[in-house]
Amino acid sequence: MTFDVKRILVGVDDSEDAVLAFDYAINLAKKSGSELVIVSVLESDEMNVFQALDKDFIHGERAELEQHILKYQKKAQDAGVQNVKCVVTEGDPGETIVEEVIPAVQPDLLVVGAESKKGLARHFGSQAAYMAKYAPITVTVVR
């Protein structure tokens, strides 16, 4: 039995593990000829109440993230991945990816880093653990 991977979803947040996961996903996408979908989540819980109420702040943060994710897209394309798409969304990364992004993108495989960049949760790897436990698809956790 073989595992046919047509679409790979990879989560990025600039942490060391996420960069390793991204590189792993690039190599896998090249070898298998898969589409690569890069997702980054703007974490609303990292904002204070005044920032969360300020639409200009949120728009600025999201626009900055959207520009940043294009660098990942270019890196994947430069590495030889033919079909690369990007998704930027907001919320709790684990829940948002499992409950919103996966149903919308319909990937065959999710690739994530073991530790996230920010917050207390990074020490426990809870985002990766959450996604590995609840994602309805195969999850590869890279460290």
Which DSSP string corresponds to 13-78?
Answer: -S-HHHHHHHHHHHHHHHHHT-EEEEEEEE-GGGS-HHHHH-HHHHHHHHHHHHHHHHHHHHHHHH
Domain boundaries, the chain: 7-142
Q: In the predicted model, is pLDDT for residue 52 greater than 60?
A: no
Using a pLDDT cut of 70, give the percent of the chain over it.
Answer: 80
The confidence band for 65, taking pLDDT boundaries of 50, 70 and 90, is confident
How many residues does the structure list for the chain?
143
77-106 pLDDT per residue, tens: 999 999 999 999 988 899 999 999 999 999
How much is the pLDDT for 88?
92
Q: Across the chain, what does the average pLDDT equal?
A: 85
Average pLDDT for 124-138: 87
The CATH number of the structural domain formed by 7-142 is 3.40.50.620
What is the CA angle 40-140-95, rounded to 5?
Answer: 45
Kindly report the number of other CB atoms within 10 A of residue 79's CB atom. Answer: 14
Tokens for 97?
A: 């990816």
Q: State how far the Cα of 133 lies from the Cα of 137, in Å rounded to an integer.
A: 10
Q: In the predicted model, is pLDDT for residue 4 greater than 70?
A: yes
Q: In the predicted model, is pLDDT for residue 3 greater than 90?
A: no
35 phi, psi to nearest 5 deg: -75, 140
Mapping DSSP to helix (H, G, I), strand (E, B) and coil, where does residue 40 land?
strand
Q: In the predicted model, is pLDDT for residue 48 greater than 80?
A: no
Distance of CA 56 to the CA centre of its chain: 24
Q: State how far the Cα of 96 lies from the Cα of 99, in Å rounded to an integer.
A: 5
